[in-house]
Structure 1
Amino acid sequence: MESPRSPEAEIGHRVEDLWEVAEPQLSPSEKLNSCFEDIPVDSFPRTHPSQVIEIPCNASLAEAVEILSKNKILSAPIRNVEAPEEASWMDKYIGIVEFAGIAMWLLSQSDVAAHGKVGSPGGSPVANLAARLGSFTFRRTSSGRVETTNDSESDEAASVGGSFFETLTSSEFYKNTKVGDISGSFRWAPFLALQTSDTFLTMLLLLSKYRMKSLPVVEVGGDKIENIITQSSVVHMLAECVGLSWFESWGTKTLSDLGLPIMKPSKLVKDNYSKGFPYRCQTPSSGATRGLTIAA
């Protein structure tokens, strides 16, 4: 057997060894679950051996985006600057901030301001931003490309399509809102965390079922985050498993061959404002789980 090419590949070889000695009466799904259940999450390679990138809760959204961009990451834990150094991790961290979460929060606040649901003066930068963001919609062309169309013929509206990001990041919300101020809008408070004693199976189920983009790893009763496992790092790990028999037995099959739950068209939620483009999916009524794939 060839020596592992990377720490991720080493995990794949461990799964291979477990796969070969698994009980023969188990189905392929059960065998794979059993293999991942025997590997502790603490064996996952650390992206940042010396440190975990944190964002202080008193940082502005602009500063948070700069930190994420500088370190080439999509999310980071929010550190409570008022918590003492010896505090537990649950007291030290108040959530996880993501690029997507910041963008969605800015858009939601702009929409609220545009509809007069907050006390922003009509001529404020926030109201102006909301008005401009509301002046165009997206449509799909016959070639499949998505482009912007204006709801009005004004010169200002016509300029929005090419400067959407600049418009969004020039708002007072973006410059002055603190990360800690929006942490309560996140799905998990402070966040779902893995213990170092948890298994790969638990990690994969959390990433799939709860659509988490990253999972902090902590020690029970500890005061810091030991590691952060992201969706992209797991995909990279699986890419390193190409050529291994257990992976090839799955990678060459179609979704129907694997028996994964199929989502019915009636379960797709569509946004009428965006002309019927599906933007999220509800849970299939069956709730069936096959192997490591969970329809959330």
Structure 2
Amino acid sequence: MATMQECPRSPEAKLGMRVEDLWDIQEAQLSPTEKLNACFESIPVSAFPLPSSNQEVEIKSDATLSEAVKILAHHNILSAPVVNVDAPEDASWIDRYIGIVEFAGIVVWILHQSEPASPKSPSTPTSATAIAAAANGNTFALELEALGLGSASTTSGNFFEDLTSSELYKNTKVRDISGTFRWAPFLALERSNSFLTMLLLLSKYKMKSVPVVDLGAGRIDNIITQAAVIHMVAECAGLQWFENWGTKKLSDVGLPLVSPKQIIKVYEDEPVLQAFKVMRKEKVGGVPVIKSGSNTPVGNISLRDVQFLLTAPEIYHDYRAITVKDFMTAVSSYLEKNKTAFSMSCEFVTCKMDCTVKELIQLLDREKIHRVYVVDNNGDLEGLISLRDIISRLVDEPRGYFGDFFDGVLPLPANSRV
């Protein structure tokens, strides 16, 4: 540990040592969680390291969906803040940004447009198109119907090529879909807010990422993701505060939070678009893929995988109907051929109940994945652990902690569907 203190391996390790120094001076009667709460409350989010690329990627509100996808793919990121092109030069951050756009949101929005008005009239030919046309005031819905999007079970491989070359995809602006998926409330932290606030927002309050704003400049200074937090924690191996917590077994810290009966799952022979619809309906970011006729997971599919529907539609061209299994096979093959372009892993990773928190964190960080499935000795599903679950075990929300923090945060718009 002395070596680590003399030659920190990374900015995250330096940050971990800062927590260590604070840990050592905490009152002895405090529990480990109370100690960590106090440590993280004493560190401002401005201390969180910037991404290694140190690249601030923003998307203009008048960019088309096609342009937005190209920007995200080029920078190998899954989401980016959207800048309001109509905002004045001296606008505050809250007027400058209208939200976050992401690969998953774009596809979810497209799926929304094809859904019928109500369960009572699913077979009405014009129900889906009438709703979308009324909502958008244009002919996009008619084009969707022509593409056959409403029938996930019969979608063929060339559907995705048709979609990405369609007028719908090329002409719809990012601002046109504002308010229809995960856009509001657009909540950001100031540089002076604490680590504890950030960790609670990423865990208990289910934010996937937290923008940090520089009030003086009126700009986003950093975007802290769940994965970035897990990487920071992984870099703290060897430090007392981490080892005190990380050497515990999963069950000792209440993991997994999700039991087998609670897990939303899909089977390998189901249509892939249906799988994405299930994730949207159940408000989950990923699901295990189960071998037909069993409870054995054979893969994982997540909302972040939808980027491959938009950036590489040609890989599905030969499929008459794309099942979840077909999708995983095509994506795996594509990633193998494009290792330099994509840093994420599509590997399906499992662990056993006797795994320690430290081993799990290092596994998630090494494989660049967002969830691990807990299996028994027969390979059957026993639970699910996500990045959010782990962060939630690291800190606890003190009574009345947020006070009026959320006052003034706008509720979801009336047309929000997610």
TM-score category by the smaller chain? 0.7 to 0.9
- Equivalent residue for 1:13? 17
Choose the corresponding residue for 2:395, options 280, 292, 295.
292
The 1:125–1:238 alpha-carbon spacing in structure 2 relative to 1, beyond 3 Å, is same
SS of residue paired to 1:185: coil
- Equivalent residue for 1:142? none
Deviation, structure 1 residue 255: 3.3
**Deviation string, structure 1 residues 107-165 (Cα, Å, up to 9, x no partner):** 11133577343347799432122x255141xxxxxxxxxxxxx5xxxxxx5xx1x4564
Choose the corresponding residue for 1:70, options 74, 81, 90.
74
Q: TM-score, normalised by structure 1?
A: 0.76
- 1:56 to 2:70 alignment: no
For the residues of structure 1 that align with 2:19 and 2:89, how far apart are their CA atoms? 38
- Equivalent residue for 1:125? 143
**Deviation string, structure 1 residues 50-100 (Cα, Å, up to 9, x no partner):** 752111000001111111111121111111111111111111111111111
On the 8 A contact 2:79/2:101 being kept in 1, the answer is yes
**Deviation string, structure 1 residues 159-195 (Cα, Å, up to 9, x no partner):** x1x4564354334332211101112124343611011
For the residues of structure 2 that align with 1:42 and 1:266, how far apart are their CA atoms? 40
For the residues of structure 2 that align with 1:164 and 1:237, how far apart are their CA atoms? 41
For the residues of structure 1 that align with 2:141 and 2:97, how far apart are their CA atoms? 37
On the 8 A contact 1:217/1:229 being kept in 2, the answer is yes
SS of residue paired to 1:248: helix
- Equivalent residue for 2:234? 239
Alignment of 1:192-231 (within 5 A): 192-220=187-215, 222-231=217-226
Choose the corresponding residue for 1:79, options 83, 96, 99.
83
SS of residue paired to 2:179: helix
Q: How many matched pairs? A: 264
- Equivalent residue for 1:145? none
Deviation, structure 1 residue 245: 2.3
Alignment of 1:66-145 (within 5 A): 66-112=70-116, 115-116=128-129, 117-119=131-133, 124-129=142-147, 131-132=148-149, 134-136=151-153
For the residues of structure 1 that align with 2:29 and 2:245, how far apart are their CA atoms? 18
For the residues of structure 2 that align with 1:177 and 1:278, how far apart are their CA atoms? 25
Counterpart code for 2:24: E
Q: What stretches of structure 2 of length at least 5 have no aligned partner?
A: 117-125, 285-391, 398-418
For the residues of structure 2 that align with 1:74 and 1:107, how far apart are their CA atoms? 18
On the 8 A contact 1:106/1:168 being kept in 2, the answer is no
For the residues of structure 1 that align with 2:159 and 2:226, how far apart are their CA atoms? 28
For the residues of structure 1 that align with 2:163 and 2:249, how far apart are their CA atoms? 41
Identity of aligned residues (%): 56
On the 8 A contact 1:13/1:244 being kept in 2, the answer is yes
Q: What stretches of structure 1 of length at least 5 have no aligned partner?
A: 137-149, 151-156, 283-288
For the residues of structure 2 that align with 1:208 and 1:245, how far apart are their CA atoms? 23
On the 8 A contact 2:81/2:100 being kept in 1, the answer is yes
Counterpart code for 1:292: V
On the 8 A contact 2:128/2:141 being kept in 1, the answer is no
Counterpart code for 1:92: R
SS of residue paired to 2:132: coil
- 1:24 to 2:28 alignment: yes
The 1:51–1:290 alpha-carbon spacing in structure 2 relative to 1, beyond 3 Å, is closer
The 1:123–1:246 alpha-carbon spacing in structure 2 relative to 1, beyond 3 Å, is closer
For the residues of structure 1 that align with 2:283 and 2:114, how far apart are their CA atoms? 25
On the 8 A contact 2:105/2:182 being kept in 1, the answer is no
SS of residue paired to 1:115: helix
For the residues of structure 2 that align with 1:260 and 1:293, how far apart are their CA atoms? 15
On the 8 A contact 2:114/2:149 being kept in 1, the answer is no
On the 8 A contact 1:106/1:174 being kept in 2, the answer is no
Counterpart code for 2:34: E
SS of residue paired to 2:17: helix
On the 8 A contact 1:90/1:190 being kept in 2, the answer is no
Choose the corresponding residue for 1:175, options 170, 176, 184.
170
Choose the corresponding residue for 2:43, options 17, 20, 39.
39
On the 8 A contact 1:55/1:77 being kept in 2, the answer is yes
For the residues of structure 2 that align with 1:10 and 1:31, how far apart are their CA atoms? 19
